């Protein structure tokens, strides 16, 4: 396996070439030939050094909101600590992803470059897809990978942040629109989409991630599920 292929397969779910969901790194690799060029969306999400210039050690706070008509809404938090591993040894990212009975445990990520919150968000989302549909995580990972390779919509955006307008990039994917197994999804609409908002003017490079399940594909009604992770703040890490 080439280094780039390993990095891509692992960074897609932010596990730094470690086994994913009990699989070997080979099993976690993308469903595409190693020679196929990495897409713009993949590069922006997983091969860009979002954490370049971050002061170490730092503590990143993100707000996590779940809304929609399908299940009970809630608001929680996601935290990431970024610490030095020692002189010239890179960094170590650790997560506190949600709290209480919603908490998800993730192993530390060594030498994080692409912001691990992207992988953590997708990992939890895939687990939710398993719970809601009865499907299996490798299938949902594959659909997301294929969407990022072939069908991602990438466009420049401007949004309000820190009391001013900043520039960024929006990536949107709809992995299940043409899914041959869509009849098995039950109430989870195949119109589900993900929106990633990135900007180098936001600490950590990731401003917001959304996963939305419209009701029967409709855009004029409240969605069944609307989960959003949004950057809140970064502060020096004490201790």
pLDDT given at position 6: 37
pLDDT given at position 144: 95
Cβ–Cβ under 8 Å, residues 109 and 93: yes
Distance CA 144, CA 140 (A): 6
pLDDT given at position 95: 97
Tokens of 65: 């909101």
The pLDDT of 202-211, averaged and rounded, is: 98
For 96, the 3-state DSSP assignment is: strand
Cβ–Cβ under 8 Å, residues 198 and 43: no
pLDDT given at position 69: 94
Cβ–Cβ under 8 Å, residues 64 and 73: no
Grade residue 10 by pLDDT with cuts at 50, 70 and 90.
very low
pLDDT given at position 85: 87
Quote the pTM value.
Answer: 0.86
184: phi then psi, degrees, rounded to nearest 5: -90, 0
Domains, the chain, ordered by start:
40-236 (2.50.20)
The pLDDT of 4-18, averaged and rounded, is: 38
């Amino acid at each position: 396996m080439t280094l780039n292929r390993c990095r891509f397969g692992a960074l897609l779910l932010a596990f730094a070439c470690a086994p994913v969901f009990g699989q070997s790194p080979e099993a976690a690799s993308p469903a595409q030939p190693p020679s196929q060029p990495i897409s713009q969306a993949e590069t922006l999400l997983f091969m860009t050094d979002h954490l370049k210039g971050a002061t170490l050690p730092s503590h990143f706070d993100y707000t996590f909101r779940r809304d929609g008509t399908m299940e009970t809404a809630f608001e929680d938090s996601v935290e990431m600590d970024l610490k030095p591993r020692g002189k010239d040894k890179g960094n170590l990212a650790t997560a506190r992803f949600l709290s209480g009975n919603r908490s998800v445990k993730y192993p530390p990520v060594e030498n994080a470059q692409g912001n691990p919150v992207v992988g953590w968000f997708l990992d939890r989302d895939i687990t939710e897809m398993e719970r809601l549909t009865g499907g299996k995580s490798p299938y949902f990972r594959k659909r997301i990978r294929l969407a990022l390779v072939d069908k991602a919509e990438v466009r420049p955006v401007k949004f309000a942040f820190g009391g001013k307008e900043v520039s960024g990039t929006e990536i949107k994917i709809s992995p299940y629109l043409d899914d041959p197994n869509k009849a098995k999804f039950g109430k989870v609409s195949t119109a589900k989409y993900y929106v990633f908002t990135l900007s180098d003017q936001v600490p950590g490079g990731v401003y917001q991630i959304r996963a939305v399940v419209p009701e029967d594909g409709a855009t004029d009604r409240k969605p069944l599920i609307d989960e959003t992770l949004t950057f809140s703040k970064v502060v020096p890490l004490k201790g």
